[in-house]
Amino acid sequence: MIKFKPPHVLFALSLAVLISFVASDTVAAYSLMEGVNAARGSNVPGTLFGDTGLITTIINTMLFLVGALSVIMIIFGGLRYVTSGGKAASVTAAKNTIIYAIVGLIISFLAYAAVNFILGSVSSGVSGGDFPVSNM
């Protein structure tokens, strides 16, 4: 009769679990991709980076909103300047609004350029810029 000591049983059990994880890795990856494809809508981009990628679209939309908000604040500052009536405090507040809006607009342009440069560098370095969400 063979006696199994607890460390040997524990080792054998952990080895069996490890082998089952390694063997089912490709099945799990395939099942994961099926789930991603089932959850993705029909008009959702299939890549993360690239010209029509999901991350690029989100970042460009956010930067557009920041730029539009800066332009709106420049207009608001101009209206405050016109309606200040020559009061020094109102004129200073209006000028500060315009200056901060212009700084925000410049930062949004620089952020747009930096993000597109980085995404272009990342996407050109890896398989032509497409990180596919699905292989199907």
Q: What is the pLDDT of residue 135?
A: 47
Question: For residue 32, what is the enclosing H or E element?
Answer: helix 25-39
CB 95 within 8 A of CB 129: no
If you average pLDDT over each of 16-30, 44-58, 60-74, 108-122, which comes out highest? 60-74
Per-residue pLDDT tens over the stretch 16-32:
766 666 555 555 555 66
Task: State how far the Cα of 45 lies from the Cα of 61, in Å rounded to an integer.
Answer: 15
Q: What is the pLDDT of residue 54?
A: 74
CB 40 within 8 A of CB 133: yes
Supply the pTM of this predicted model. Answer: 0.52
Distances (CA, A) of 36 to 32, 46, 55, 135: 6, 10, 16, 11
Per-residue pLDDT tens over the stretch 87-131:
999 999 999 999 999 998 898 888 888 877 887 777 665 544 444
